[in-house]
Structure 1
Amino acid sequence: MDIALWIIIGLLALAFLGAGILKLLRPRTALIDGGMPWAADFSPLAIKTVAALEAIGAIGLVLPRLTGVAPLLSPIAALGLAALMAGAVVVHARRDEPVLPPLVLGVLSIVAAVLGFIVLV
């Protein structure tokens, strides 16, 4: 079960870290023009906040388990990312945009949290 957890959190960390860094480094207009039209509804500060939460969540998935320091934080980070993806699903649904990508990431985050709590027990 530990291997399955590492695979899931590794893939999630890559996805969230990549998305977070992309949103942190690119200006709002570049995000809108680059295929993220939802960014038009949010301020640059809100976009950067979401980006920082994604990047910090990605680090929080891996670092506690990797170091063995407070491994309980890893499933908690997964729950935080699941909540973030629940918000993304709502935003995309309201804009009639595809909800499958954030929905899949949210479900995988919940799976990572459940497995993380199970492995701790």
Structure 2
Amino acid sequence: MPAWTGTAPVLTPTAAVGLAVIMALAIGTHVRRRESSAVVVNLVLLASAVFVAWGRFGPHSY
């Protein structure tokens, strides 16, 4: 929402980076507990968060 409304647009990539860190830590936890089905979900969420962060912090960001 911050990027759409123009109110503090830096919050969007910052939140995406935070979510990416959380998902990376969740992958480690699920691997340690041998929960392979949950790792796939975390990888998808991690990839989407990294994509958003890269797009918003990248050279063509708003």
Give me the TM-score of the superposition, normalised by structure 1. 0.45
- Aligned pairs, number: 58
For the pair 1:84 / 2:22, whether they are aligned, the reply is yes
Residue 11 of structure 2 is matched in structure 1 by 73
**In the alignment, residue 42 of structure 2 is paired with which amino acid?**
P
Considering only aligned residues, what root-mean-square deviation do their CA atoms show, in Å?
Answer: 1.0
Gaps of 5+ in 2: none
Render the CA deviation track for 1:30-82: whole Å, top value 9, x for unaligned.
xxxxxxxxxxxxxxxxxxxxxxxxxxxxxxxxx21121011111011000000
**In the alignment, residue 114 of structure 1 is paired with which amino acid?**
W
Summarize the alignment of residues 6-45 of structure 1 with structure 2, pairs less than 5 Å apart. none
TM superposition outliers: structure 1 runs of 4+ over 4 Å? none
**In the alignment, residue 74 of structure 1 is paired with which amino acid?**
T
For the pair 1:64 / 2:2, whether they are aligned, the reply is yes
| Aligned-residue offset at 1:113 | 0.3
Residue 117 of structure 1 is matched in structure 2 by 57
Higher relative contact order, structure no. (Cα contacts within 8 Å, ≥ 6 residues apart): 2
| Aligned-residue offset at 1:108 | 1.1
State the alpha-carbon separation in 1 of the partners of residues 43 and 51 from structure 2.
12
- Aligned-residue sequence identity (percent) comes to 43
User: Who wins on radius of gyration, i.e. which is larger?
Assistant: 1
Greater Cα offset, 100-109 or 74-83: 100-109
Residue 95 of structure 1 is matched in structure 2 by 33
